[in-house]
């Protein structure tokens, strides 16, 4: 019987992958091995530098002297990350693999806002600073928009570095505004924020009801309830309204509910207050003067006497032939 002098020698494969696994593979070979191990790598989103999804690499190692395959998985860390593989068998055959550098960003940009808060009411200038925190902010897709509700004001602002500074001057008319912040990074993470605020520099607008407007500066022999309307973007403190009611230059104190009432309505364009003075106040012949002074949420002090678009509310009641007035009394 012929003896086989061939010795079965164990061969050692050592695989090193980015310090995350060390692989020892024992195979037996009776022939000289000159073929290096084979490395196959499959990476999710391999065609994208940035991703907001978890990126994984599946590594498959095979060798012609080894049955089956060795499969490992690597999960990329957030931020910049890559991995490499170095594998050598006992015969000295070596193979290496080095991945590209990929960026995994799982966090949306964060905004920091200074100078404006939700629901703020301004009667002056708006000085706002908006800072975006994100290492990979997409400047082409990140911006801030300010849009008026009742007017046509609409402005866009883009980031200079990671900051936007907005100085709103008097080109912004009194209106309700929405500040919209759109932040996007290169991985596609988004952050959207809206802040509503009001610009109210002009305060209230007063108007005498059409039924009474023709009486201003003139005479009447009969008057019913007298209506004055106050309009404002903001709420008015009517509880502390100062009402000056004078008859023949003598000031009379009026009580709400007894001498007048106030009707309040809120609409899309703001608040409307109607002051209704009862006709019993005007039952004597003489000259009547009415003025209103209020304060709104924006801090504006509103007064019918200082309204440049309105005349002083003064008129005369003349019921008897003996009553007579000259124009100086009414102006």
The answer to whether 39 touches 89, Cβ cutoff 8 Å, is no
Are 219 and 320 in contact by the 8 Å Cβ rule? The answer is no
For position 184, what pLDDT does the model report?
A: 97
Give the CA-trace dihedral at 184, 190, 194, 195, to 10 degrees: -70
CA-based torsion, 312, 318, 321, 323: positive or negative:
negative
Question: What is the pLDDT at residue 312?
Answer: 85
CATH code of the domain occupying 110-199: 2.60.40.2550
Mean pLDDT estimate for the chain: 85
| 239 has a pLDDT exceeding 90 | yes
Question: For the ranges 5-9, 25-29, 108-112, 262-266, which has the lowest average pLDDT?
Answer: 5-9
| Residue 325: band (very low, low, confident or very high) from pLDDT cuts 50, 70, 90 | low
Distance CA 331, CA 307 (A): 15
Q: Do the domains spanning 110-199 and 205-330 agree at the CATH topology level? A: yes
The answer to whether 99 touches 74, Cβ cutoff 8 Å, is no
d(CA 116, CA 219): 51
Does 29 have pLDDT greater than 60?
A: no
Q: Given phi > 0 = left and psi -120 to 50 = alpha, else beta, which region is 44?
A: beta
| Radius of gyration (C-alpha) of the chain in whole angstroms | 41
pLDDT at 194 over 90: yes
Angle, alpha carbons 181-182-186 (nearest 5°): 145
Q: Give the start-to-end residue ranges of the domains of the chain.
A: 9-104, 110-199, 205-330
Name the fold adopted by 9-104: Immunoglobulin-like (2.60.40)
- In angstroms, the CA 111 to CA 183 distance is 8
Q: How confident is the model at residue 330 (pLDDT cuts 50, 70, 90)?
A: low
pLDDT at residue 11, as a whole number? 38
Please tell me the predicted confidence (pLDDT) of residue 28.
Answer: 53
How high is the pLDDT of residue 22? 47
pLDDT computed for residue 153 by the predictor: 78
Topology at the third CATH level for domain 205-330: Immunoglobulin-like (2.60.40)
The pLDDT tens digits of the residues spanning 133-186 come to 999 999 999 999 999 987 677 889 999 888 998 876 666 788 999 999 999 999
pLDDT above 60: residue 9: no
- CA distances to 21, 27, 90, 106, 181 from 140, rounded to whole Å, are 41, 56, 54, 20, 13
Mean pLDDT across the stretch 217-238?
92
Nearest CA-CA partner of 62 in 54, 53, 71: 71
How do residues 49-72 score in pLDDT, each as one tens digit? 999 999 999 999 988 877 788 899
- What is the model's pLDDT at position 54? 95
DSSP assigned state of 304: G
CA distances from 43 to 54, 157, 213 (A): 11, 38, 79
């Amino acid at each position: 019987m012929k003896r086989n002098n061939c010795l079965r020698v164990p061969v050692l494969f050592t695989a090193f992958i980015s310090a995350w696994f060390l692989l020892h593979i024992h195979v037996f070979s009776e022939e000289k091995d000159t073929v290096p191990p084979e490395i196959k790598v499959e990476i999710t989103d391999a065609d994208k530098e940035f991703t907001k999804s978890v990126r994984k690499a599946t590594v498959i190692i095979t060798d012609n002297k080894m049955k089956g395959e060795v499969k490992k998985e690597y999960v990329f860390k957030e931020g910049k990350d890559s991995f490499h593989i170095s594998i050598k068998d006992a015969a000295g055959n070596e193979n290496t693999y080095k991945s590209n550098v990929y960026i995994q960003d799982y966090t949306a940009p964060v905004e920091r806002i200074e100078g404006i808060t939700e629901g703020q009411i301004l009667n002056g200038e708006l000085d706002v600073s908006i800072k975006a925190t994100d290492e990979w902010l997409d400047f082409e897709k990140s911006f801030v928009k300010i849009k008026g509700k009742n007017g046509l004001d609409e402005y866009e602002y883009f980031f200079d570095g990671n900051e936007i500074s907005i100085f709103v001057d008097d080109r912004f008319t009194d209106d309700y505004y929405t500040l919209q912040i759109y932040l996007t990074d290169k991985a596609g993470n988004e952050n959207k924020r809206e802040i509503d605020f009001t610009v109210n520099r002009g305060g209230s607008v007063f108007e005498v009801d059409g039924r009474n407007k023709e009486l201003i500066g003139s005479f009447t022999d009969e008057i019913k309830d007298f209506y004055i309307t106050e309009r404002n973007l903001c709420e008015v403190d009517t509880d502390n309204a100062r009402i000056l009611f004078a008859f023949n230059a003598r000031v009379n104190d009026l009580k709400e509910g007894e001498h007048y009432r106030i009707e309040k309505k809120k609409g899309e364009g703001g608040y409307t207050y109607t002051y209704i003075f009862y006709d019993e106040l005007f039952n004597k012949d003489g000259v009547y003067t009415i003025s209103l002074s209020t304060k709104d949420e924006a801090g504006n002090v509103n007064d019918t006497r200082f309204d440049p678009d309105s005349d002083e509310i003064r008129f005369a009641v003349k019921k008897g032939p003996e009553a007579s007035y000259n124009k100086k009394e009414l102006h």
